[in-house]
Amino acid sequence: MKILLLATILLSTVIVGSLLVHNYIQDTAVGFTEHIEEIEALVDEEMWDDAKKEMNLFKKDWEKNIKFWMTTTGHEEIDNIEKNLIESYNYINLESRESLVKLALLKYFFEHIYTKEKVNLHNLF
Amino acid sequence: MLIVLLRTVILYLAVFFMIRIMGKRQVGEMQPNELVIAIMAAEIASTPLESVDIPLFYGLIPLFVMFFIEALMTFLILKNHVSRRILTGKPSLIMKDGVLQEGEMKRLRITISDLFEQARSHGYPKLHELKYIVFETNGDMSMIPNEDISYPVTLIADGKRLYKNFKDWNISESWLNEELHRNGISSDKELFLAYVDEQKLYFHRKGH
């Protein structure tokens, strides 16, 4: 009986923790994708100074979150984000419109992280 | 992480019911739920070890979930007769009063050579020396020789009557009622266990 109680407490903690982590990841990922869309609009209008400024903010924001994301998300996903972030950052600094391709990929990887964690039949099976 | 949690539950139940359906031959001295843990736990724990790209939580969450399911199953096995029957199965008599139960052997997929092998390993090379052979829920066989002339039959477990045993062993309920009354037991619920051996009732009260 004591073991069942302990296991129930442990499982409840895991469920609550998972829900909180899932919500946090979703909220931050949505925030990141919205920010990317803003940068995309600036690049599209070739407002390079503003795009560089926003990209710097985005990078700093990501660096604040990366440690937590590493503990809860597959590292392969993080590597994909990191790679595309570096490329986007440098393309923007070079004032190249190719950065739009990399930003689109970056947005895709952020969306992919929270869509693959959604509880639905497609992800379960 | 919720996906990992739910996937663990689905896979645990799938492996568990597969083992239950395969029968006792596959179990090998463990209860089905224990075997599932043995199969899955080592594999799950080693997944984050094999690759640093997998967060540790992906290994820890399934272990916590399995710990919970195992604790729940053990609780159900201990507390409820019906769930015990479903989760662990019931012992099967493959020899009754010295007569091999061919139908039961076929159902359990036990061959004559399996039977001889088990009998020899239990120190009974001659089957006619045996009176009862019980195929236990953990896949082991218990051999009761001729000199032990009777086989105890459980009539009450956890305060509930096992009606199938009354029917299988031709035991009358009125006889049990009389015996209980004679021993000052007014309700089955007072008993943890009651069994009959050589037409004598033995019982253990609850709360000890």
Contact A7 B71 (CB under 8 A): yes
Whole-number Å distance between alpha carbons of B56 and B48: 6
Q: Residue B27 above 70 pLDDT?
A: no
| Domain CATH code at residue A58 | 1.20.120.290
Residue of B nearest to A114 (CA): B1
Indicate the pLDDT class of residue A2, thresholds 50, 70 and 90: confident
Containing structural domain, residue A57: 2-124
B70: chain A residues, CB-CB within 8 Å:
7
Whole-number Å distance between alpha carbons of B37 and B74: 12
The residue whose two tokens read 């139908």 is B103
- Within 10 angstroms of residue B11's Cβ, the number of other Cβ atoms is 16
Whole-number Å distance between alpha carbons of B125 and B117: 8
Our count of domains for chain A comes to 1
**What would the pLDDT profile of A45-103 be if each residue is shown by its tens digit?**
989 999 999 999 999 999 988 888 888 888 888 899 999 999 999 999 999 989 999 99
Q: Is B147 on the interface with A (CB under 8 A)?
A: no
DSSP state letter for B140: -
Contact B55 A21 (CB under 8 A): no
Q: Kindly tell me the number of DSSP H helices and DSSP E strands found in chain B.
A: 8, 8
* Cβ burial, residue B140 (10 Å; 0-12/13-18/19+): middle
Contact B1 A21 (CB under 8 A): yes
Predicted ipTM of the assembly? 0.72
- Both structure tokens of B155: 């009539």
Indicate the pLDDT class of residue A43, thresholds 50, 70 and 90: very high
**Structural contact between residues B35 and B93, judged by C-beta atoms closer than 8 angstroms:** no
In this prediction, residue A90 carries a pLDDT of: 93
Size of interface A-B (CB pairs under 8 A): 68
Provide the mean pLDDT of chain A: 89
Average of per-residue pLDDT across A12-26:
89
